[in-house]
Amino acid sequence: MKIKHLTWVWVLAALLLVSCQKDPSTSGLRDEYLVYTTADTETSFETISTYYIPDSILIIGSNAVDKEGNKVAKYWKDTDALTLINTFVSQMDERGYERVLDPTIRASADVGFQLSYVEDTTYFVGYNNPYWWSYYPYYWDPGYWGPWYGWYYPYAAVYYGYTTGSLLAEMVNLRSESGSGKSLPVIWNLYVSGLLNDRQTIDITDASQAIEQGFTQSPYLKK
């Protein structure tokens, strides 16, 4: 039976308040997943009109290299990835937001999504400055969206680990001031763990349901 309530979400949220705390063990949660969301309480999500979402999901922990042996970004672009992306799209559309489709004008949207999947390792995340992406320049870069210096989380600093099979989504505020020394605010975050099946591959059905659960427990996401 898949998790459809917030019991474990609150357990996880409590653990996230402890510095350098890993995910709670999921060994006793066979065939279940955990959903955690957080948001900037100062953001008026009802004033947001448009959003942009990329056509692929970044794979974190990839060992992909170019011909010179330099690490390069690896993106998930198959039909399974599209299923997850479309789940975000349907949830945003249902809440009255309009999608910007043209990638050449993505920065004209009010908000943008950064979607990532942890493939084969654990990363500890500190919501302070610099954020962990800064150590991996081949991952999401604020320059993808425009002239921003880095990322900024307006909500409380926490430290936690993203484990293998985790799905991450961050909503960034593209209406914020950009330019030299300006950071791009991340105003909503979705984190899902426990998505691997017995074959140690991601369960797309579970992942889609978990995304929907993330929106369900974020009722403020509504035009």
Q: Phi first, then psi: give them for residue 39, nearest 5 degrees.
A: -150, 160
Q: Which two tokens stand for residue 130?
A: 């610099």
Mean pLDDT of 24-38: 66
What pLDDT does 46 receive?
97
pLDDT at 197 over 90: no
User: How does pLDDT run across 128-154, given as a tens digit for each residue?
Assistant: 544 444 444 445 778 889 888 877 888
The CA-to-CA distance between both ends of the chain, in Å, stands at 32
At 112, which helix (H) or strand (E)?
strand 111-118
Do 92 and 112 form a contact (C-beta atoms < 8 A)?
no
What pLDDT does 140 receive?
73
3-state secondary structure of 104: helix
> In 10 A of CB 43, how many CB atoms?
18
- 3-class SS shares of the chain: helix, strand, coil, % to 5: 25, 25, 50
3-state secondary structure of 126: strand
DSSP assignment of 4-37 equals: -SSHHHHHHHHHHTSTTBPPPP-TT-TT--EEEE
What does CATH list as the number for 32-216?
A: 3.30.160.670
User: How does pLDDT run across 36-77, given as a tens digit for each residue?
Assistant: 999 999 999 999 999 999 999 988 876 666 777 776 778 899
Give dist(CA 164, CA 118) in Å, integer.
5
Q: Output the CA torsion sign for 92, 147, 189, 175.
A: negative
User: How does pLDDT run across 8-22, given as a tens digit for each residue?
Assistant: 443 344 334 333 444
What pLDDT does 148 receive?
87
Please give the model's pTM, rounded to 2 decimal places. 0.80
